[in-house]
Amino acid sequence: MRAFIFTIINLLVLLNSGCIIQFIPETEEKQKLLVVEGLITDQNRTNKIRITYSLPVGDVLTDQPVKGCTVIITEEKGKAYNLREKSPGIYITDSTQFRGQVNRKYSLFIQTGTATYKTGFVEMKPVPPIDSVYFRKVTITEKTESRLPVEGCQIFVGTHDPSGQCLYYRWDFRETWEFRLPYSVANRICWRSANSDKIFIKNTSIYNQASVTDFPLQYITNATDRLEVRYSIIVNQYSLNEDEFSYWEKVKNVSESVGGLYDITPMSILGNIYRVEDPGEPVLGYFSVSAVASERIFIDNDFMGLPNFYAYCPTDTVWGPSTVPISGLGVSRWVIDDRTTSEMPPYRIITQYKQCADCTVRGTTVKPSFWDDKGSK
């Protein structure tokens, strides 16, 4: 029988925005599977648990939120904390009542209908500070028409644990960049953000030292406008135990597979969640518990070979004073250059692409709270 394709996991609620990592291995399984994603940390903020059913509908995946669950986080020999359903399938802690603490153990309890799901107690391990987040320019072999070299940017992270306790690491990041339209329009300067969509892990136990150097994270090509004005990245570092590292390693192997050929089946990458009434029932996802260390850098350097990202924008010219009507203005056509007062005869340059006349199509005009203009070009 032809294999159904469906997602076995929407992995990990990231600290900054709840970014989801998704991959779709093939499997013969047709049953709906419970997917639980969650991370609790030592940060003073809301923690989130996402609960869904993964349902194959023909050859298309449908993620169905599981509503009305009872979700409880319990501290070993301590209090129990009830989570509130913020939206369908999304359950959150009260930041004024709950905050994870290093060296304490936590478990997850879920009641949905007649089914009960649990985890064992997971210890929140300490995580060392990030030593540095840094970048190097990388020269790409391709040349521009001007024969100038083309440069990209490779971002690295380095860390170490003097105590030797943290041997397994995981990282994620959130990047933000400023971009500017080359036209005198109202919404000209904007900011855009994106979350990491890959799995970054490192096992240092094989080196007999809890140290990481030159670990590559984000690579930025000159094909995007991230490096054109100003770029920032905040990197979050987590500590893992050996079991969780093994889990992420398997997930990484599957997510990076190509061509639809998978050596690992869903049943071999189950997490730490089980059904009480039927421990053999497959449950996908992982209840993660970790302290967090974060580091932010800004990149203001000039990079050679950046293309003109807006060369396609001008699509027409309308001659005549500003009183001359323009068909479809504000709906399918926009003014990006108005020469009605300084040129004879007057004219206006028109675009068919709204993103060329309004940066909010791609970003926001609200400057991030951590942003300053130091170093901006």
Is 298 within a domain?
A: no
Mean pLDDT value across the chain: 86
> Rounded to whole angstroms, what are the CA distances from 64 to 115, 129, 156, 331?
17, 38, 37, 36
What is the per-residue pLDDT for 11? 41
Is 47 within a domain?
A: yes
Is the pLDDT confidence value at 123 over 60? Answer: yes
Is the pLDDT confidence value at 27 over 70? Answer: no
The structural domain count of the chain equals 3
H or E, element range at 21:
strand 21-23
Q: Are 313 and 65 in contact (CB under 8 A)?
A: no
> Rounded to whole angstroms, what are the CA distances from 145 to 42, 302, 303, 313, 372?
51, 19, 16, 20, 35
Tell me: do 10 and 59 sit in the same domain: yes
What is the per-residue pLDDT for 146? 61
Is the pLDDT confidence value at 5 over 60? Answer: no
Percent of the chain with pLDDT over 90: 66
Tell me: do 318 and 268 sit in the same domain: no
Tell me: do 218 and 149 sit in the same domain: yes
The residue with greater pLDDT, 283 or 4, is 283
Is the pLDDT confidence value at 23 over 60? Answer: no
Q: Which among 211, 239, 267 is the end of a domain?
A: 239
Is 122 within a domain?
A: yes
Is 299 within a domain?
A: no
Tell me: do 122 and 264 sit in the same domain: yes
Bridge partners of 179, per DSSP, are 190
Tell me: do 226 and 171 sit in the same domain: yes
Domain of 119 in residue numbering reads as: 4-126+241-291
In the three-class reduction of DSSP (H, G, I as helix; E, B as strand; rest coil), residue 18 is classed as coil
Mean pLDDT across the stretch 49-66? 78
Tell me: do 119 and 251 sit in the same domain: yes
What is the per-residue pLDDT for 345? 81
Q: Most confidently modeled of 4-18, 29-43, 347-361? A: 347-361
CA angle at residue 311 from 310 to 316, to 5 degrees?
105
Tell me: do 48 and 174 sit in the same domain: no
Tell me: do 30 and 49 sit in the same domain: yes
Is 374 within a domain?
A: no
Mean pLDDT across the stretch 190-217? 92
Is 168 within a domain?
A: yes
Mean pLDDT across the stretch 106-113? 96
Cα 100 to Cα 78: distance, rounded to the nearest angstrom: 12
Tell me: do 235 and 246 sit in the same domain: no
Tell me: do 161 and 103 sit in the same domain: no
Mean pLDDT across the stretch 72-84? 95
Q: Picking from 27-31, 108-112, 189-193, 228-232, which range would have the lowest pLDDT averaged per residue?
A: 27-31
Q: Give the model's confidence band at 209: pLDDT under 50 very low, under 70 low, under 90 confident, else very high.
A: confident
Cα 54 to Cα 87: distance, rounded to the nearest angstrom: 18
Cα 374 to Cα 199: distance, rounded to the nearest angstrom: 32
Pairing of strands 105-112, 70-75: antiparallel
Tell me: do 26 and 153 sit in the same domain: no
What is the per-residue pLDDT for 7? 38
Tell me: do 119 and 19 sit in the same domain: yes
Residue indicated by tokens 């969640």: 273
